[in-house]
Amino acid sequence: MLAVVAIYPVIVVLGLSNTIGYHRLLSHRSFKTAPWLRYAITFVAAQYSGAPMQWVGAHRIHHTVSDTPADPHTPTKGFWFAHSGWLCGTKSPVLGALFALSGFGLQVRFLLVDLWRLAGKHPPIWRAMARDLEKERFMRWLDLPLVMTACFVAQLALAWAIGGAWGIAWLWAVHLLLNNATWIVNSACHLEGAGSRSYETRDRSRNVWWLALLTHGESSHNNHHKFPKSARHGRDGEFDTSWLIIRGLEKLGLAKDIQTA
Q: What is the mean pLDDT of residues 49-63?
A: 97
Does the residue 261 lie in any domain? no
User: Is pLDDT of 204 > 70?
Assistant: yes
Domain count for the chain:
1
What's the whole-number mean pLDDT along residues 78-88? 96
At residue 3 the predicted structure's pLDDT band, cuts being 50, 70 and 90, is low
Tell me the pLDDT band of 189, cut-offs 50, 70 and 90.
very high
Give the tens place of pLDDT for each residue, 214-239.
999 999 999 999 999 999 999 888 99
Q: Indicate whether 175 belongs to any domain.
A: yes
pLDDT at site 85:
97
H helices of the chain, where? 2-16, 35-49, 52-64, 79-80, 86-88, 93-101, 105-118, 131-134, 137-142, 147-187, 212-215, 221-226, 241-251
Q: Give the mean pLDDT of 57-84.
A: 96
Task: Report the alpha-carbon distance of residue 235 to residue 73 in Å, rounded.
Answer: 25
Q: Using CA atoms, how far apart are residues 10 and 3, in angstroms rounded to an integer?
A: 11
Q: What is the dihedral of CA 97, 217, 60, 65, to 10 degrees?
A: 70
Confidence of residue 2 (pLDDT cuts 50, 70, 90): low
Residue 131: Cβ within 10 Å count: 10
In this predicted structure, the answer to whether residue 4 has a pLDDT above a threshold of 80 is no
Judge whether residue 9 has pLDDT over 80.
yes
Instruction: Tell me the average pLDDT across 180-188.
Output: 97
User: What is d(CA 83, CA 187) in angstroms, rounded to the nearest whole number?
Assistant: 5
Residue 83 maps to a domain? yes
pLDDT tens per residue across span 132-180: 999 999 999 999 999 999 999 999 999 999 999 999 999 999 999 999 9
pTM (two decimals): 0.95
pLDDT at 51 over 70: yes
3-state SS assignment for residue 61: helix
Give the list of residues 6+ apart from residue 168 with CB closer than 8 angstroms, or none: 156, 159, 160
134 within a domain of the structure (yes/no): yes
Count of CB atoms situated within 10 Å of the CB of 88: 19
Residue 49 lies in a domain: yes
More confident residue, 121 or 32: 32
Taking CA atoms, 8 is separated from 66, 110, 171, 237, in Å, by: 32, 25, 12, 24
Q: Report the pLDDT value the prediction gives residue 193, as an integer from 0 to 100.
A: 87
In a domain, residue 135? The reply is yes
Q: What is the domain extent for residue 177? A: 2-256
